[in-house]
Structure 1
């Protein structure tokens, strides 16, 4: 196994990590920002007020983008197995 192949696999793995985790993290960031602005303007300091909407938003995001995420991971796994088979 060459250094170039290892570097390529690591680069692909990091890219897949960003593509799989990105939508959920981005939605959590946006919902958290909206909730914090709402809390600052209304001076409501309830901890569960920020937790529950983020949880629901992340669940809906995973529900909507789950097929894309799963196909991305399956294709990556297949490519890793192809690389292992050629060794």
Structure 2
């Protein structure tokens, strides 16, 4: 395996991981910011108020996008396995 092939595989790995994890991270970031603004406005400093909505949104986004995420991950793994003969 040449350095170019390894670099291409690492680029694909990072890009796919960004695409798979990105929606969950963005959704929890937005909910976290909204909850933080709500806590500042109401001066309610309950610790569980910040974790429960983020956890619920992460679960909902994961359930909704699971088929797409699994398809993306399966396609990436298939392309890696199909590329094994060309590495030698």
- TM-score of the superposition, structure 2-length normalised? 0.96
Counterpart residue number, 1:60: 60
Counterpart residue number, 1:14: 14
Counterpart residue number, 2:25: 25
CA distance in 1, matches of 2:24, 2:47: 20
Q: CA deviation at 1:83?
A: 1.1
- Secondary structure (helix, strand or coil) at the match of 1:20 reads helix
CA RMSD of aligned residues (A): 0.7
Runs of 5+ unmatched residues, structure 2: none
Runs of 5+ unmatched residues, structure 1: none
Q: Aligned pair 1:84/2:84, yes or no?
A: yes
CA distance in 2, matches of 1:23, 1:34: 17
Q: CA deviation at 1:85?
A: 2.8
Counterpart residue number, 2:45: 45
Q: CA deviation at 1:30?
A: 0.1
- Secondary structure (helix, strand or coil) at the match of 1:81 reads helix
- Secondary structure (helix, strand or coil) at the match of 2:45 reads coil
